[in-house]
A and B are shown apart, each in its own frame.
Chain A
């Protein structure tokens, strides 16, 4: 545009030309806590809500584990309580309060998956940390579109409330798995109108998808437009890179699921048959629909989102870990450029691997071969990133702070999760392992001791920036050991159960099948570990709230970190920085030879000016 060249007569320092004039007028309660447009508050809103949902999802899982270890036995205390709260008969099987019905077990599974993925991990790992940290790290005053940012959180919130309300639906919440495969999901609770669990699930998803769309547009625009002077792409902290790629994935992968959700909504509400073939039967009766649809269509559209979604779950975790590892080894990130390239590679490849979830559908050997090739290809960049992180440890004098403990645990746990995925990538081995507990163990190793540990690392690492106070270190260590040990006792036996052939959706813990006999006793072990894991989150929860008021006060940069967020006050006020900031070097200038201190902040005008990965030391 001709005019735009004449308009931008501002100097390149325009973004920071206004200085710290912002008079801090007090915002009212609603404006400050609910209708906030400040990226930090929105990040915290996302974080706290997401952590609550994580805990809620954990509780659903704990109930399922009880059922698997003690099928048909009433859940003590909570069971009868729930039977009273939930009006449908989900927790009132055969009139015994506290015993769950198979339907309700299915609901718990579906809602556990949905809540953990869409309302827990993504909001915390991507939206919360992304919102809070990214603008600070690139030296921006806020996100580009603060109001859209607020709308994103509110849309997320509405989606979450709809999901929660579906527990009170007369037919119970969605019960067709978090993947909502038709024809099961199309035909679940027919005739129940809009208030059936599955329909509410779809409506909730539409809000969540809208929320992630608004968030993703904001993230990408912010990173492209609002980088501080001197903050070139190759000087961005690794965390910003993963957020950029993650935002792109969300932007492009989610809409097909929105399309699919609309189709399923039409199927359920208007009686169309997008996903119902000719001659569809239900309980041995022909369903009165036109037919002509295909259940495979849903699977394709669903996994077109849901596989990239896996990378949405893990990439922000990798970014957090990179920040924590470099800060605590006091060394630059080994192979920064390779790691950035790998993240971009993952971003591209994640869009062409989706059908490896569908080997069992009989879509044909040629298609399977294509997708197993791309799936194996994507393990290359994943290994590059993990290798970069591992080699960054080499020769460092590691400070085992609480975030670093979680980060060190993350590396092998993520490794286990990744390596056990390889047999699933191959068509022939997957046919055997498909839908067994092996799969459950595999992806939980990626997401639970993987991403959730990264989330914990991030919370302990950036909490001082958000509140101005440290989390208690002793209780942090208790939390760490109390999490890492049960986590492995929970998930490792599942590999063994899965390889023995135990099906992932069994309601009775595998008792129906003789072949499960040798591994069934693990159900009890796992249940005990689940209680332990839950118990050891209590110190974290108390620590989290107690430290807001009573934690150790700190200055701007308690970890002696290089990245720009630590140049802002703790907590940063509206507009973030007191002085205009600019970037002079790569993100991880730790232990530079000949420099008096072992870190040079990115925004420090003194000292050598370098790009990330330009040299190693």
Chain B
């Protein structure tokens, strides 16, 4: 006996096998990302004052990526609809756009956003030394306004050797605007357009530093969750691209000739996955970029 309902729907459930399968898989994925987002909430709520940074991420780029991903979710539906109408060339066209959107998203992430982080530096100042760096932190000003204190000086690290060389006793940080001009009301809240790095350099004594690193995952709870979640999301995007490409290549054409409905089903299933990946990003974007 052959396995039934691989292409046609089972009458009493109204679904073919793969559609049940993908929905179950997505339920599991919801729990996976749910676990990660819970961790985000848990760590953010438990963070000491000033230890959950704001405004480190590039909002315009994030917005652009959000639009790309949403756009690709539309084109993947169009590709599926084209198959349903048995218009194979239209399918190939829309699928190509979907794949390109996916690749563009990943390219921006991996060649621009992440590397920009890796070249940025931050030093958390010890509690007892916060007063010493008042000109860069502006905590008196913040306290007067009832805002959360700042505990970190960020910017470009001028002497990168300081990270490895213990004989160097200070970090020379060309500061971000927020530390260069901490009492400027413009620094109270993160801005949509990132403000350029200033030309003011702060000499931060290593003895005053609680912890310092480039903006790697280990930099802080914020960046560990950011890199873990966007990294895992990126892997999902990559997975989607691979499957889409597979069905865009002759494999798809051959299947289409044999049974067009089968190909349409497969595109529907991977399309559902793609929507899910999109949906995850819809959570990632506000949680990390905006809030």
Contact = CB atoms under 8 A, between A and B. Distances in A.
Interface of A: 1, 3-5, 7-8, 10, 12, 14-16, 18-20, 22, 140-142, 144-146, 148, 213, 216-218, 220-221, 224-226, 251-260, 262-263, 266, 270-274, 278, 288-294, 297, 300-301, 304, 575-577, 580
Contacts of A22: 1
B204 to A, nearest CB: 16
B42 A300 contact: yes
Interface string B1-20: 11111011111011111101
Contacts of B89: none
Interface stretch (B65-73, B102-110, B211-219): B211-219
Contacts of B46: 294
Contact of B43 (A4, A16, A293): A293
B87 to A, nearest CB: 14
A255 B4 contact: no
A216 B211 contact: no
A297 to B, nearest CB: 5
Contact of B3 (A1, A144, A301, A577): A144
Contact of A297 (B5, B16, B43, B124): B43
B35 A292 contact: no
A141 B3 contact: yes
Contacts of A142: 3
B74 interface: no
Contacts of A290: 124, 211, 213, 218-221
Given A18-B2, A271-B218, A289-B211, A259 B39 contact: yes
Nearest to A146: B3
Contact of B28 (A145, A213, A224, A294): A213
B286 interface: no
A529 to B, nearest CB: 40
A278 B127 CA distance: 12
Given A3-B84, A4-B14, A273-B221, A14 B4 contact: yes
A8 B14 CA distance: 9
B243 interface: no
B111 to A, nearest CB: 20
A174 to B, nearest CB: 21
Nearest to B12: A12
A320 to B, nearest CB: 24
Nearest to A279: B210
B1 A15 contact: yes
Interface in B16-64: 16-18, 20-21, 24-25, 27-29, 31-36, 38-39, 42-43, 46-48, 51
A266 B220 CA distance: 12
B163 interface: no
Interface residues of B, number: 53
A274 B225 CA distance: 8
Contacts of B261: 3, 7
Contacts of A580: 1
Given A7-B261, A221-B20, A304-B35, A251 B27 contact: yes
24 contacts: A4-B9, A7-B9, A14-B4, A18-B2, A22-B1, A213-B25, A217-B28, A218-B21, A221-B17, A224-B13, A225-B4, A225-B17, A251-B24, A252-B27, A255-B28, A256-B35, A258-B32, A258-B35, A259-B36, A274-B221, A278-B48, A288-B211, A297-B39, A301-B35
A510 to B, nearest CB: 36
B228 A262 contact: yes
B182 to A, nearest CB: 22
Contacts of A20: 1
Nearest to A223: B20
Interface in B209-241: 211, 213, 216-221, 224-225, 228, 232
Given A216-B24, A270-B217, A290-B219, A15 B4 contact: yes
A251 B24 CA distance: 8
B216 to A, nearest CB: 7
Given A145-B21, A273-B224, A291-B211, A259 B218 contact: no
Given A254-B28, A258-B35, 15 more contacts: A1-B9, A4-B14, A7-B9, A8-B9, A144-B20, A216-B28, A255-B28, A255-B32, A256-B38, A271-B217, A274-B221, A294-B46, A300-B42, A304-B35, A575-B2
A205 to B, nearest CB: 14
Contacts of A141: 1-4
Chain A CB count within 10 A is highest, among B2, B15, B35, B46, for B35
B4 A145 contact: no
A142 B261 CA distance: 23
A484 to B, nearest CB: 38
A3 B84 CA distance: 8
Contacts of A272: 217-218, 224, 228
A538 B87 CA distance: 65
A290 B25 CA distance: 35
Contacts of A294: 42-43, 46
Interface in B233-261: 261
Contacts of A255: 28-29, 31-32, 34-35
Contact of B15 (A216, A225, A253, A293): A225
A257 B36 CA distance: 10
A259 B51 contact: no
Given A8-B8, A290-B220, A226 B3 contact: yes
B56 to A, nearest CB: 14
B94 to A, nearest CB: 18
Report the 4 A-B pairs with minimum CB-CB distance, sorted nearest first.
A256-B35, A259-B35, A255-B32, A15-B4
B77 to A, nearest CB: 13
Contacts of B5: 15, 144, 225-226
A293 B232 contact: no
Contacts of B224: 263, 266, 272-274, 293
B15 A256 contact: no
Most central of B11, B28, B124 by chain A CB within 10 Å: B28
